[in-house]
């Protein structure tokens, strides 16, 4: 009786350690995609800080393009709002969709600003504008890399929570699926970084 009791006790302990290992793996994966989202946050904040300087520099040269400049600032405000809503809810499908849509609006507005600025040779030659657009292009590339890292982390987490036997632990402990930060289908301009040529 004692030998079978020890075997049963050993199996129960093994099962507990197995469950704890799966649970810890899910927590680690969830924290990884949240950290990856934090990197997106850092790059988007940098972009948000660059935009007012870019608009202010362009304002002196583009007096007739007031609508374009206002559209950029309006899109910036919407994107900042989308990021604020998503910060505490990384992976939430509604938050990621809202962030993706607001980022798409900002990307489109910035693209139009940069395209319109091509018509102003003095603006193109402005050293401050050249530096700001170079920083913006660099930041856009960093945003794209951060978005890719986030999506890779989300995919790893979702795979881990969906495979058997992890799915048993995930379902019982509330590990919800995480959403990718996708480029809206109706905004293909987000798939490319703005082309800046001075």
pLDDT for res 120: 82
Domain assignment present for 94: yes
pLDDT for res 67: 86
- Alpha-carbon distance 98 to 194, whole Å? 21
DSSP state of 189: G
Residue 175 maps to which CATH number?
A: 1.20.1440.20
Domain assignment present for 196: no
User: 128: domain range?
Assistant: 22-191
**pTM for this entry:** 0.80
Per-residue pLDDT of 167-180, as tens digits, reads: 989 988 989 999 99
- Alpha-carbon distance 187 to 84, whole Å? 21
- Alpha-carbon distance 22 to 10, whole Å? 18
Domain assignment present for 15: no
| Structure token pair of residue 124 | 């193109």
Max CA distance (Å), the chain: 92
Domain assignment present for 14: no
Query: Which segment of 42-46, 83-87, 171-175, 191-195 scores lowest on mean pLDDT?
Result: 191-195
Domain assignment present for 177: yes
Domain assignment present for 6: no
Domain assignment present for 51: yes
How confident is residue 25, by pLDDT bands cut at 50, 70 and 90?
A: very high
């Amino acid at each position: 009786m004692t030998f079978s009791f020890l075997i049963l006790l050993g199996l129960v302990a093994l099962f507990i350690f197995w469950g704890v290992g799966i649970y810890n793996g899910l927590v680690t994966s969830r924290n990884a995609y949240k950290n990856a989202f934090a990197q997106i946050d850092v790059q988007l904040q940098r972009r948000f800080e660059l935009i007012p300087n870019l608009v202010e520099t362009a304002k002196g040269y583009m007096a007739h393009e007031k609508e374009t400049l206002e559209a950029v600032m309006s899109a910036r405000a919407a994107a900042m709002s989308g990021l604020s809503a998503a910060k505490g809810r990384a992976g939430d499908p509604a938050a990621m969709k809202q962030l993706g849509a607001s980022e798409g609006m900002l990307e489109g507005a910035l693209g139009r600003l940069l395209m319109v600025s091509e018509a102003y040779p003095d603006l193109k030659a402005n050293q401050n504008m050249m530096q700001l657009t170079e920083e913006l292009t660099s930041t856009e590339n960093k945003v794209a890399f951060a978005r890719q890292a986030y999506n890779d982390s989300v995919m790893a987490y979702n795979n881990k929570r969906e495979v058997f036997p992890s799915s048993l632990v995930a379902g019982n402990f509330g590990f919800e699926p995480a959403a990718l930060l996708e480029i809206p289908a109706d905004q293909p301009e987000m798939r490319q970084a703005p082309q800046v040529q001075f």
